[in-house]
Amino acid sequence: MIHREGHTLLFTLLVLLSAINVAIIYFFPTQIVVQNIVIIVSLIFYLFTLQFFRNPRRVIPQGEHQVIAPADGKVVVIEETQEPEYLNEKRIQVSIFMSPLNVHVNRNPIDGTVEYFKYHKGKYLVAWHPKSSTENERTTLVITSPKGIKVLMRQIAGAVAKRIKWYVKEGQPVAKGAEFGFIKFGSRVDVFLPLESKVQVKIGDKTVGGETIIAELPQ
């Protein structure tokens, strides 16, 4: 399945690459090697872009206290830190880095209601830069569970990813595993959990968005 964010781009790219290949064949009819190189490069580039927008189905864990990974990627940060934007308290931060090869759909980590949402314009530092979470283009989303536990997430654009999409608004009920956004071409998602949470992943672990359990909320 191809994500809706890629439909227009993929169609435009298909038309453009087709036009380039037709032009090469027309203007260089005897240059078979050149034609073949252009065709192969075009195919590889299109397939690379196509796989970036894939949107595979996921089996969502249904445990009441389970926090699932909001994105595919690699766990790069697990630390206790101060969350200064909205919660204004110490939290456990779990950060997942998404390379251009990962699925870039972002999913709700818990069931609940969107208590807070804000989009921030910003820079495009590499996603693993220490200041990327406070200076890059980003969104902040807080979901409150039915038991009143707040989980904050932050979509962070990277040096290549320069377009963040979101599909939620304040006051909206959301389901665990459902899409809340998309980031194009490499980025990071931070999750801020209560200090009493039991983290189920470690640095370097690979996550599958919507399926990997990254923590257990306090009961």
Tell me, yes or no, whether 58 lies in a domain: no
Q: pLDDT tens digit string along 77-88?
A: 999 999 999 999
Active site (annotated) includes residue 132: no
Count: domains in the chain: 2
Catalytic residue among 42, 132, 187, 197: 187
Same domain for 104 and 206, yes or no, is yes
Q: pLDDT tens digit string along 6-53?
A: 788 899 999 999 999 999 998 899 899 999 999 999 999 999 888 778
Tell me, yes or no, whether 194 lies in a domain: yes
Q: pLDDT tens digit string along 99-109?
A: 888 888 999 99
Same domain for 42 and 132, yes or no, is no
Tell me, yes or no, whether 191 lies in a domain: yes
Same domain for 36 and 142, yes or no, is no
Contacts 24+ apart (CB under 8 A), 84-88: 85/118, 85/140, 86/116, 86/140, 86/142, 86/152, 87/142, 87/150, 87/152, 87/192
Tell me, yes or no, whether 60 lies in a domain: no
Same domain for 12 and 109, yes or no, is no
Same domain for 120 and 202, yes or no, is yes
Tell me, yes or no, whether 113 lies in a domain: yes
Q: Which domain does 127 fall in, by range? A: 66-216
